[in-house]
Structure 1
Amino acid sequence: MKLKWILICFLIYGSAFYSSLHVYSRQSAKETAEDAGKLLPVKMKYFRDVHSTKEIQQWVREADESGETISIAGMQHSQGGHTLYPNGTLLDMTGYSQILNFSPKEKKITVQSGVTWADIQQMINPYGLSIKVMQSQNIFTVGGSLSVNVHGRDIRYGSLIDSVESFRLLKPNGAIINVSRTENSDMFPYVIGGYGLFGVILDVTLELADDELYQHRSAAMNYKEYETYFNEKVKHDDSVKMHLARISVAPESFLKEMYVTDYVLAEDQGNREKYMELKKEEIVALPKFMLGLSRYSDWGKGLLWETQKEFFMNNDGKYETRNNVMRSDSEFMEYENPNRTEVLQEYFVPVDQFAEYINDLRAVLEKEELNLLNITIRYVGHDEDAVLSYAKNDMFALVMLINQGRSEQDIQVTEKVLQKLIDVTLDHDGSYYLPYYSYPSDKQLKRAYPRIEEFFEKKREFDPEERFNNLFYERYGQ
């Protein structure tokens, strides 16, 4: 009996201790913020959970009067401090998430910037409509996606700026303006792809597409064949609407073997309703386990590559709606390690230079220590609407997933390797994507984005007090 009471007391004490520890950890988390890269923990002065336009306007005006600095956050998957600034105010926009207007007839939707792509899909799917441009996963906020001007698997609509009709912007002084291609149009190409430096994007009107039924078409090939395959079988075939490729990082076929998936418009669109139910996360445990193996061994990388290739090749002929293609699983990629993290890099290279570029990339990587886990390849057509456009030509985009340590020494080692990769990319008339850790040098930034000084000058003109700030701007713009 005595032992029983001792155990009960221990459980009560343990529960109380856990609860207090949990509360303490939440309070501690409220003092420090970090983005998805987990390399930039930053102590913030204030955290503001946003729910209304009035709240945001009040906080921005107060900050303007007191001289506080503001940074803006959604899901915080930009990994270079774009949502952080030391001792500043962080506006968490994820609670600012109402769908304000939806017109199926006009194929348009107006949403607050904290709405996720998943929220929009839930609303528009029953009406046979789909999003035009978004990332491969649907977990991100619309405001964050606009701030980095995303692209995705669709090969016909370009980057996100192409599908934006208009948005409302809360300026650094608290005033609100409408921005479109005809109203305050000078701000349109700066704010989209502006990384939160010009103000708060409040709500956005987006153009929508039809939710078509696609059939998967898969093929395996050598990297030297890819450019020809893409030009002949994908780009100039109007029935191909979306496209995704992967290139091997396994030692035996490193940057040589590829497989592709094309999403071809199904001949019988009358079957769409049969497949239109929005899919949820599929089996997660197995791919999560196999990705874990690939982090720690070449054998694991080889096994993951062969398994991925077999899975996608076996999907040849599968039917899937556009909305479901744009709901890729992401849960299996979640990774928690106190000493390591996973970062993304994305390099853009002209289509006609792909094979030569891969040869030069391989030559660097075979000499360097870089724990490269995956490379996916997408296509982005030439599009210079945004001032900081990454698609100066018709480009292949190579998205790299890298496992690295968090120490200063680890960061320096990764920086050295990635700067070499960026030089290779620039030498092939390419560019790199800006939402990731600030490994590139100032010189590399100016080569990749020749209008970057114009961008920073516009930022200082529009926000002379630098009310909106982040670590990306501090690193490159000040």
Structure 2
Amino acid sequence: MKVKWIILCLLIYGTAFYSSLHVYSRQSVTESAEDAGKLLPVKIKYVRDVHTTKDIQGWIKEARENGETISIAGMQHSQGGHTLYPNGTLLNMTGYSKILKFNPLDKKITVQSGVTWADIQEKINPYGLSVKVMQSQNIFTVGGSLSVNVHGRDIRYGSLIDSVDSFRLLTPDGTIINVSHKENSDLFPYVIGGYGLFGVILDVTLELAEDELYQHRSGEMDYSDYENYFKEKVKQDDSVKMHLARISVAPETFLREMYVTDYVLADQQDKKEKHSELKEEQIIALPKFMLGVSRYSDWGKDLLWETQKEYFLKNNGKYETRNNVMRSDSGFMEYENPNRTEVLQEYFVPVDQFAEYITDIRAILEREDLNLLNITIRYVGHDEDAVLSYATDDMFALVLLINQGRAKQDIEQTERVLQKLIDVTLDHDGSYYLPYYSYPSDKQLKRAYPRIEEFFDKKREFDPEERFKNLFYERYGK
């Protein structure tokens, strides 16, 4: 009898030990993760590679049962922790990438959210169709682009929310709902531009445009002439469909000299067949080298600016399809350094305040230490469909590329300078873009986005257990 009790105790102890070991090992599984900014490395408990809807539903159920959090990632080019949350489950959506339905006659396509814009271009280009709105590069996922409500070079279609027909959302309780302007319409302006805080965007139906042929019209000018040029030569000319500008960050011409490229509708019959093939990746060794030199010297910045300007002006008169304009190569910007990184900031300023704004930010940047590598300028028309709209007027968007250190003192130094720039931007009735590192203060966030509390309240109402979280929400939503 005594032996039986000993055996039973051993069995109970062994079972308990195995269970506790299993739980411990399950809890201690961690993996390092970071976004493209490389300033917010975190330990993630699980990274789940998504392939099916059933996968996601299972992991949401598991997270609910265990009281865990979920964050959602595509290409992770948002740089403010929007795809990360410590000790939670990260859904890697890049494998959830099927094109589900394509109707060329209706000019619509339905895709899973892990599909890239490049995937869509490959599918629709043979049919003479193009995307309406996307970033200047095509490497990003559709779901990620919706989550930040992107805009691009197109000046006629607005931000991405305007070209979304509908989408399916996997909610925090694991159910799937359809969202459109007619169905669950109250969620539409929250989820698009919602930074993954309302659930998982499963698949999206997008409206498409004609893949038109454009001719480049390039020129250079002083910054003080740009506002009138845009109003008279670009905005009022219906034949101009897309637009891009850059302003110099080179010491010799700092924030004074500009060059512009307008994409003007060309003769579709004569030229389109010769240019419709999608361009492949170009040689990037030289621009990559020159950008590298500009990171560490003023003469390198001067050289890069003159070379870039000469290249774009030389392309004056060049023909290019809409799909190829939206196929820019960003490979030359890839940057690996154990002690430094490159971050983006994007500021929006009303068109009629551009010259005064540039004068004011130049006064700050000429006396501050900020390694500014590039400023690209785009246009986005007034569009307040999204709750967190950044285009409360007709705006110029200035995209800043900044090289900085990763150490605490470097982050604090960049924060100090950028908060000054943001104050100037807000004083000019402007705003800033939310997908980047959380340098702005709480006060600046509320000035730029007066509906931010409404946004966070809706998130907590829709997701009361706060199942979906990220570092952006942790920083500002609490």
Q: Which residue of 2 aligns with 1:58?
A: 58
Q: Which amino acid aligns with 2:299?
A: W
Q: CA deviation at 1:268?
A: 3.8
Structure-2-length-normalised TM-score = 0.94
Q: Which amino acid aligns with 1:281?
A: E
Deviation digits for residues 216-251 of structure 1, max 9, x if unmatched?
000100000000000000000000000000000000
Deviation digits for residues 349-380 of structure 1, max 9, x if unmatched?
00000000000000000010000000000000
Q: Does 1:33 align with 2:33?
A: yes
Q: Which residue of 2 aligns with 1:99?
A: 99
1:35/1:78 contact within 8 Å kept: yes
C-alpha distance in 1 between matches for 2:187 and 2:408: 38
Q: Which residue of 1 aligns with 2:324?
A: 324
Deviation digits for residues 371-399 of structure 1, max 9, x if unmatched?
00000000000000000000000000000
Instruction: Compare 56-65 and 76-85 and name the one that shifted more.
Output: 56-65
Change (3 A) 1:183 1:115: same
Q: Which amino acid aligns with 1:115?
A: V
C-alpha distance in 2 between matches for 1:304 and 1:276: 30
Change (3 A) 1:439 1:29: farther
2:215/2:318 contact within 8 Å kept: yes
Q: Which residue of 2 aligns with 1:4?
A: none
Q: Does 1:442 align with 2:448?
A: no
Matches within 5 A, 1:108-257: 108-257=108-257
Q: Which residue of 2 aligns with 1:72?
A: 72
Q: Which amino acid aligns with 2:385?
A: D
Q: Which amino acid aligns with 1:203?
A: D
Q: CA deviation at 1:270?
A: 3.8
Q: Which residue of 1 aligns with 2:430?
A: 430
Q: Which residue of 1 aligns with 2:369?
A: 369
Q: Which residue of 2 aligns with 1:382?
A: 382
Q: Which residue of 1 aligns with 2:398?
A: 398
Q: Which amino acid aligns with 1:205?
A: T
C-alpha distance in 1 between matches for 2:52 and 2:74: 15
Q: CA deviation at 1:215?
A: 0.2
Bigger radius of gyration, 1 or 2? 2
Q: Which amino acid aligns with 1:179?
A: V
Please give the root-mean-square deviation of Cα atoms over the aligned residues, in Å: 1.0
Deviation digits for residues 38-94 of structure 1, max 9, x if unmatched?
000000011100000011011111111211100000000000000000000000000
Change (3 A) 1:438 1:76: same
Q: Which residue of 2 aligns with 1:358?
A: 358
Q: Which residue of 2 aligns with 1:314?
A: 314
Q: Which amino acid aligns with 2:230?
A: F
Q: CA deviation at 1:458?
A: 0.1
2:295 is paired with a residue whose SS is: helix
1:296 is paired with a residue whose SS is: coil
C-alpha distance in 1 between matches for 2:187 and 2:282: 41
Q: Which residue of 2 aligns with 1:281?
A: 281
Q: Which residue of 2 aligns with 1:304?
A: 304
C-alpha distance in 1 between matches for 2:241 and 2:141: 24
2:30/2:45 contact within 8 Å kept: no
Structure-1-length-normalised TM-score = 0.94
C-alpha distance in 2 between matches for 1:429 and 1:472: 24
Q: Which amino acid aligns with 2:157?
A: Y
Aligned sequence identity (%)? 84
Q: CA deviation at 1:401?
A: 0.2
2:169/2:201 contact within 8 Å kept: yes
Q: Does 1:262 align with 2:262?
A: yes
> Any stretches of 5+ residues in structure 2 without a counterpart?
1-27
Q: CA deviation at 1:280?
A: 1.2
Number of residue pairs matched by the alignment: 451
2:99/2:115 contact within 8 Å kept: yes
2:29/2:46 contact within 8 Å kept: no
Deviation digits for residues 323-362 of structure 1, max 9, x if unmatched?
0000001110000000000000000000000000000000
Q: Which residue of 2 aligns with 1:25?
A: none
1:213/1:269 contact within 8 Å kept: no
Q: Which residue of 2 aligns with 1:11?
A: none
Q: CA deviation at 1:271?
A: 1.9
1:380/1:397 contact within 8 Å kept: yes
